[in-house]
Structure 1
């Protein structure tokens, strides 16, 4: 009984995750390329390397 319940919850969660993803979004040049800029003001300070 416990196995059936866990399997049912797993199947329901899988269906929900698949249905929530949006693979039908149009892919244009503007939304397929992300630009990352790390030198803007307000960025966090660099983290020093760990001491040996």
Structure 2
């Protein structure tokens, strides 16, 4: 179902491909985005939603 959502939202893929820096709110999201869009480690960081790291 998520793939359908990505296809329907204009600019979804381009946003991630063109972004200089991406902040992910969870480890799951970080890994999903890295795998889905082949984002290199230097362009994506984990930024916990509640602001508290482990």
Provide TM-score, normalisation by structure 2: 0.21
Provide TM-score, normalisation by structure 1: 0.21
Instruction: Report which of the two structures shows the higher radius of gyration computed on alpha carbons.
Output: 1
Higher-RCO chain (CA-CA 8 Å, sequence separation at least 6)? 2
